[in-house]
Amino acid sequence: MPTATPVSGTAELRDETVRQVLRTSIGGDQLRLRLTNEFGDVALRVGEVRVALRAGTKGTDIDPATDRAVTFGGQRSVTIPAGSPLLSDPVELRLPAAADLVVSIYLPDTTPVTTVHGFAYQENVIAAGNATDDRSVTVAETITQWYFLSGVSVRTRQPHAKAVVALGDSITNGFETAVGANHRYPDLLAERLRHTGVLNLGVAGNRLLHDPNPPAGHPAEAYAAYFGQSALRRFDRDVLAQPGVEHVIVLLGVNDLGHPGTSAPLSEVVTAEEIIGAHRQLITRAHEAGLRIHGGTILPFKGDTLGFHSPENEAKRQAVNEWIRTSGEYDTVIDFDAALRDPADPLRLRPEYDSGDHLHPNDAGMAALAAAVPARLFR
């Protein structure tokens, strides 16, 4: 489930097709695509969109028998106004669980890439001309982002089916996992929850309380836009607006601690109480919408290579985690910290779960995160 963030239009497409692969969770017989121009300041013209199942387990070749045209209000070519999303008409396509879906978008005009998911951990490709219905494409460029595509919803006939949103930052997004392996923790959780759709709304670098704000002259000016709008700002769009959602898992707060003084100004230093206040707001808004919301404890990050850790930030992490565990305000506590911390030094990640930067879990750590979520929560 990609989500979108704004970028300064460094990439540009013209008379090209972007072919993108994404992993679905629950199976079904009908789908809708959600395209997005929400961070564009000019209208986005889309020449054609097609969707198909992937042929095989690698690359972007499609199974021609599953190739479907995607329409929007009955039209195959459409213009998306600046600042807007666009939901497709229903597409009849039988999807198994954990399907690899290929979405091909043809952009005929000069099109700056202004709305993008920065870290897809999936190889996608760009091809010349309208190649949307080609079984194989001649690759002009390989990218590891998702362009102008922010979601896919699947209609299932399974009784008692529901959806859970995994709301988070780079850890939920799958940072440092193997490209193309679908080892993000929401993917691995979805393998356990056959009657539940899992929507990954993780955005690398995301904070609860602040939008990206790199200091002038800092290297983060080149990439901070990928961090996306704050969780408080994007919650209604990325959680409450999702079809069929009944549950939310929140794993956020480490960037609120670590970004000030690294990729954000020191004026944005926050207290433990402010982080707790942001969590409380998410809880209130979820409950107002009738959702159950589950709080994940912040993982340890002592010794991290990004400069996040300090005695002060550790004290705040401990205070926030104690509140998550004991306040009773979340419907359920998911103790990610306990599942991944090193028994020999609980302020660090277990070595076998550490990607090497002492902040992000590796593929084995992602499996441990998924295993820490009790399946009974969604029955």
> What are the structural domain ranges in the chain?
5-152, 158-378
190 contact partners, CB below 8 Å, separation of at least 6: 25, 26, 97, 98, 196, 197, 198
> Is the separation of the CB atoms in 237 and 167 below 8 Å?
no
Write down the pTM of the prediction. Answer: 0.94
Tell me which residues of the chain have a pLDDT lower than 50.
8-9
- What pLDDT, on a 0 to 100 scale, did the predictor assign at position 2? 63
Pair 184, 202: CB distance under 8 Å:
yes
Please, which residues have CB within 8 angstroms of residue 277's CB and are 6 or more apart in sequence? none
**pLDDT value, residue 9:** 42
Residues 6+ apart with CB under 8 A from 352: 364, 365
* Residue showing tokens 């992000």: 360
> Do β-strands 12-13 and 111-112 pair in parallel, antiparallel, or remain unpaired?
antiparallel
The amino acid occupying position 357 is D
Architecture of domain 158-378: 3-Layer(aba) Sandwich (3.40)
27 vs 62: CA distance, rounded Å: 18
Strand partners, 28: 95
Residue 188: left if φ>0, alpha if ψ -120 to 50, beta else—which one?
A: alpha
Hey, CA dihedral for 203, 204, 207, 210, is it positive or negative?
Answer: negative
59, with CB counted inside 10 A (0-12, 13-18, 19+), is: middle
pLDDT for 237:
95
Element (H, E) at 370: helix 363-371
Describe the crossing of helices 185-192 and 363-371 by its angle, rounded to 10 degrees: 40
